[in-house]
Amino acid sequence: MKIFEKIYAGGRWIVPASTLTTDVIDPSTEEIIGRVPLCNAEDIDSAVKAARDAFPAWADRPLPDRVDYLRRIAAAMKARSKEIGACIAQEMGMPLKLAKMIQAGLPIGTMEGYADIAEKFPFEETVGNSLIIREPAGVCGFITPWNYPLHQIVGKVAPALAAGCTMVLKPSEVAPLNAFLLAEIIHEVGLPAGVFNLVSGEGPIVGEALASHPEVDMVSFTGSTRAGIRVAELAAPTVKRVTQELGGKSANIILDDADFENAVAKGVQDCYLNSGQTCSALTRMLVPEERMEEAAAVARAAAERFTPGPAMERGTRLGPLVSHAQRERVRYYIKKGIEEGARLITGGPEAPENLPAGYFVKPTVFADVKPEMTIAREEIFGPVLSIMSYQDEDHAVSLANNSEYGLSGSVWSSDVERAKKVARRLRTGQVYINGGRHNPLAPFGGYKKSGNGREFGTHGLEEFLEVKAMQL
């Protein structure tokens, strides 16, 4: 069991002002595996003050020094990658093999990647008679989710460090242990005191105190659209910069000339990654109306190959949902889909057989889903696929764009140029063509209620910079 009784502020592990704590639960077993503090507004004040005091020196630090710290942090993360992967598998439920590769591997690559990006980034340029300077935005508040916990943390911490910002991090209280491991690593490599600070606690208390704090210059939030709206409201009176990566209900358009069986099977796989707990998951599959039965059959076979089981158990392809509350939420949506007339192809709201403990849900597929149905409109955040039919290409694009979200999407066609033409019509921040590989250097973020701003790559670094013009 990992028990953390202190928070990290001003380069030291300190006893928080609050005496409250929260247990961390293994969603595979429902057993307690850790404990962290539940901080209060006083703890936020301490952490923000430390970040504010550290900002001038860190902002003035030569870029090669900042880059060196990024590389040292990445190396220390790599040395503990097995521990990090196992920790995240236990606290949020991704199968261990995947957790080592994704939950531990991606953050290491991101930390290393920002060292490379920063070295090449044009922090200064001349435009006419003006010298344009990009300077650090200031003290940043980070509020991060539980589904890809360390990846989302590093996606903010790494570019902020590279830019010259200081920061206060509040990870999700559901999966916070990985953040404490990162704080241990940062302490070990000797990052200057106050540059990185860690508090833990619940959103309505700690998150709100951080978002509204007058000494915080910028808030970067990843989570639900509802919570993102609240963060923006709290930040508005101080006119601080806010970037948000929020919900999604992404469409996967399979055109009539696509490699159909491969596209449908791959679509199921994309939907079920991380037990469907992925904001950019392709949860709406759009197929030609005359091929609905074929799609349903292929999807059913693909879904039934996803074996639910404990995250630490060999052979598990579908881990549990992160919590009891999340499992009940997903069950509600499955029942809602049945009530509203969608055709259940496989799965359902009942717990999988032979799994008496753990927050498991069967891999579920619905066919004949109509645009007005709840499961076609609302983000479920579980292993639930909705198959919808379209009449022609224009209808497919219309259905795909018929959403308040715009985070991701996908198009399949044997003609890449046709697929790209359709992709240009989608109102989303990212589109995969024929199952294109994830690119960690590409900007990630959404249109509409999926948020604003971008993370990762050069675009992610720019979010942490202010622009100054000197007229010469």
Which CATH number characterizes residue 113's domain?
A: 3.40.605.10
**147, two tokens:** 């589904």
> Quick one: DSSP state of residue 410?
E
Asked whether 396 and 252 are in contact (CB, 8 A), the reply is: no
Whether 33 is in a domain gets the answer yes
Whether 461 is in a domain gets the answer yes
What is the three-class DSSP state of 3? strand
One domain, residues 412 and 274:
yes
Of 392, 436, 399, nearest in space to 416 by CA: 436
Q: Which pLDDT score, from 0 to 100, does residue 200 have?
A: 98
What are the φ/ψ torsions at residue 169 (nearest 5 degrees)? -105, 130
Which residue carries 């009449």 as its tokens? 391
Strand-pair partners of 135: 466
The overall pTM is greater than 0.75:
yes
Whether 23 is in a domain gets the answer yes
Per-residue pLDDT of 348-360, as tens digits, reads 999 998 999 999 9
What's the N-to-C CA distance of the chain in angstroms?
60
Residue 354 and residue 357: Cα distance in Å, rounded?
9
Q: Which pLDDT score, from 0 to 100, does residue 281 have?
A: 98
Q: Which pLDDT score, from 0 to 100, does residue 229 have?
A: 97
One domain, residues 193 and 283:
no
Q: ∠ CA(46), CA(51), CA(57), 5° rounding? A: 140
Whether 445 is in a domain gets the answer no
One domain, residues 232 and 357:
no
Residue 450 and residue 429: Cα distance in Å, rounded?
9
**189, two tokens:** 């490599």
Catalytic residue of the set 87, 140, 165, 279: 279
One domain, residues 74 and 192:
yes
**Tell me, what CATH number does 395's domain have?**
3.40.309.10
**187, two tokens:** 């302490």
Q: Which pLDDT score, from 0 to 100, does residue 406 have?
A: 98
One domain, residues 224 and 135:
yes
Whether 205 is in a domain gets the answer yes
Per-residue pLDDT of 154-188, as tens digits, reads 999 999 999 999 999 999 999 999 999 999 999 99
One domain, residues 455 and 351:
no
One domain, residues 426 and 454:
no
One domain, residues 277 and 218:
no
Catalytic residue of the set 91, 112, 245, 455: 245
One domain, residues 73 and 203:
yes
One domain, residues 201 and 312:
no
* Domain with 141 in it: 2-246+450-471
Q: Which pLDDT score, from 0 to 100, does residue 416 have?
A: 98
Strand-pair partners of 344: 366
Known catalytic residue at 279: yes
For the chain, the domain total comes to 2
One domain, residues 201 and 303:
no
Known catalytic residue at 140: no
Q: Which pLDDT score, from 0 to 100, does residue 100 have?
A: 97
Residue 330 and residue 271: Cα distance in Å, rounded?
14
Of 253, 352, 356, 370, nearest in space to 304 by CA: 352
Give the chain's residues under pLDDT 50.
none
One domain, residues 375 and 428:
yes
